[in-house]
Amino acid sequence: MFERLPSSWMLALKKVGYWIWLVPVLGIPLSYYWSQGSAYANAWAYLVVGVVFGVIPLLDVIVGRDPANPDEIEDVPQMDKQGYYRLLSLATVPFLLGMLIWAGWAFVNYEAWSWVGQLGWILSVGTVMGAIGITVAHEFIHKDSQLEQNAGGLLLAAVCYAGFKVEHVRGHHVHVSTPEDASSSRYGQSLYAFLPHAYKHNFSNAWALEAERLKRRSLPALHWRNELIYWYVISALFLLGFSLAFGWLGVLFFLGQSFVALTLLEIINYVEHYGLHRRKQDNGRYERTNPTHSWNSNFLLTNLFLFHLQRHSDHHAYAKRRYQVLRHFDDSPQLPNGYAGMIVLAVFPPLWRAVMDPRVRAFYAGEEHQLTDSQLAS
């Protein structure tokens, strides 16, 4: 639909279009109010989940791709300096935290929901906190400013996954698309084999990386300069606050939405690197990360929702590039749909492998030996 528009038009369109993140965030209270007096109150609790994973994949196909890249000489320097894009992403923080607290109140006090509706509410809120909250947090933790670093840590603390702030930057980006990275899924590995290892490793590796950093400063791991301690204390304060305000149901809600959000993050990790790997060189080191080591998805709609997260190939090659100037590369491996559609496929391993395995083999055509035992799922 937009593929033939001039690049300058697309950049102007997206400058406004990034505000689409408000749709799922406001979709939470809207679904609550639309359920008032409805005979299908439980069904309304699933509205956001249904739209994200049912409607958005279809709209991705209809709206189509966005091939426009900002010009490196004329556009990028100017766009990098515009505080508008930074303000836009920072605006998500109060909206998301406000939505989360209000949603906890609704979970406890709305009597029209049975446990079925309450489950749908947790899934919907967790989807928003994972898709929008963690995506924006991911943008922040790659930046140098203390404000953005703290904003990213706060959003991650709100879903009890502060370790991502350390492990993603110092672990995943170092070892991406190698057997050493728990966030890079192997060729033939199912989502359900991937997730338990990702949960465990990404938590423990965050502590190991932070302990290593402190050791270089001759400090013990359990030290006040261990940033993970700060963020997990904030998660504990969130939990305490929900407990005092809403009782045990508030605790259930907060932990439930956290689990949904962090699981959504790990499913996206699974999608982003499935079957791709960096070649090991003669000196024993892996080749430098480049845009061929991540799956790219250039569907316009979900890229607006996710602040260009789907231009993941460019992000891994140039991690500090801001979301508004991330580029599409034609020679990167390409996903057949946006992340929402790919997540739906991933939860059904036979469908996932039927769609993705031929793409992996085609990408390594002529050098199938690259799919060695070390790259295959055990």
Q: How crowded is residue 209: how many other Cβ atoms within 10 Å of its Cβ?
A: 18
Q: Which residue ranges of the chain lie beneath pLDDT 70? A: 1, 367-378
Per-residue pLDDT, 369 = 59
Q: Which is nearest to 303 in space by CA: 14, 6, 5?
A: 14
- Amino acid at site 102: W
Can you read off the two tokens belonging to residue 70?
């900002």
Per-residue pLDDT, 291 = 87
- Asked, for residue 375, whether it belongs to a domain, the answer is no
CA angle 319, 325, 328 (to 5 degrees): 85
Number of domains observed in the structure of the chain: 1
Compute the distance between CA of residue 252 and CA of residue 258 in angstroms, rounded to an integer.
Answer: 10
- Asked, for residue 378, whether it belongs to a domain, the answer is no
- Asked, for residue 250, whether it belongs to a domain, the answer is yes
- Asked, for residue 260, whether it belongs to a domain, the answer is yes
Per-residue pLDDT, 217 = 92
Q: Which domain holds residue 284?
A: 7-370
Per-residue pLDDT, 5 = 78
- Answer for the pair 93, 17: CB distance below 8 angstroms, yes or no: no
- Asked, for residue 358, whether it belongs to a domain, the answer is yes
- Asked, for residue 324, whether it belongs to a domain, the answer is yes
- Answer for the pair 121, 107: CB distance below 8 angstroms, yes or no: yes
pTM of this structure? 0.93
